[in-house]
Amino acid sequence: MGVEASDYSIYRRVVSQLMQGQEQLPSLPALTLDIRRALSDGQISTGALARLISRDPALAALLMKHASGALYRHPMAPRTLQDVIALLGMSEVDRITMVHSIKSLFTLHSPAHKRLFMEVWGRLTLKASTCAMLARLIGHVAPEHALLASLLSEVGTLAVLSAFKDEAEIPSGELYYKLCREYSKSLGVIVLKKWAVDDEYIEVIRAAGNWGASTGRELELIDLVNLALFHAIKERNPDAELPLLVELAAYHKLQPPLNFIGDNGELELVLNHRADIHAIAETLR
């Protein structure tokens, strides 16, 4: 057995142990649960919600940045948390709270862990921002819903990395992505069930990356997630082995001019809004 194969078997064992001991998987922070409970109750006032959110300054800052960003183009930038809540609405605040929690739960602090995490998080935020912008431009799905679904579809990728939080050595990038191909979907489903999120997000995990996955004639959440995944991969690696865009089931739900394709094989819609997509991604980093 070669050194790489031996290393891989060791890393597989670490990830398998994580799957069997689900209590080791991260739970949502208490404040996130408090905010989600308050929002689901439907009775909380804007002022009370702002006070609750202000207990986490990093979350408050993220909401302010997001509400002032490229998805909204609001003529008057929000100045207070109450302004932000009024602009975004309660359901969007809920989703951005989840986005914030995902990053905080999986951030690791040793230099090697952090380097790999930041590489992975950069890829995930590019994909999620592309998904949100597609949702804003095409319609059918709320942008924050698309953004959160895209991020949650990769929560297993982050969970694989978290398996090594107590290990002195972490896998190389190549071995890490090999582990993700084997375990990330299963781990992602386990994590989302533990967090009790909507089943819709779990179905997105299962269908993400399946280019033929689609039902009905209307554009759905999984269509946006797969279109975003395609474009994020192509942007980061133009030579990646991908099908032609016209071979994606989601593509055939787009009507002119939304389905126009540029010379590089990507949607013109994405190419024309790449600066906005990167601006959204920057607010999440």
CATH code, domain carrying 188: 1.10.3210.10
Cα 106 from Cα 27, distance rounded (Å)? 11
Run of H or E including 3: helix 3-20
Interval 38-73: pLDDT, tens = 888 778 889 999 999 999 998 898 888 888 776 766
Question: Which residues of the chain are modeled with pLDDT < 50?
Answer: 1-3
Q: State which residues form the domain around 261.
A: 3-283
Count of domains for the chain:
1
pLDDT tens digits, one per residue of 12-27: 887 887 777 666 777 8
pLDDT tens, residue by residue, 246-278: 999 999 999 999 999 999 999 999 999 999 999
Taking a C-beta distance cutoff of 8 angstroms, is the pair 219, 141 a contact?
yes
Please tell me the predicted confidence (pLDDT) of residue 109. Answer: 65
Instruction: Please report the pLDDT score of residue 149 as a whole number.
Output: 95
Classify residue 252 by its DSSP letter: G
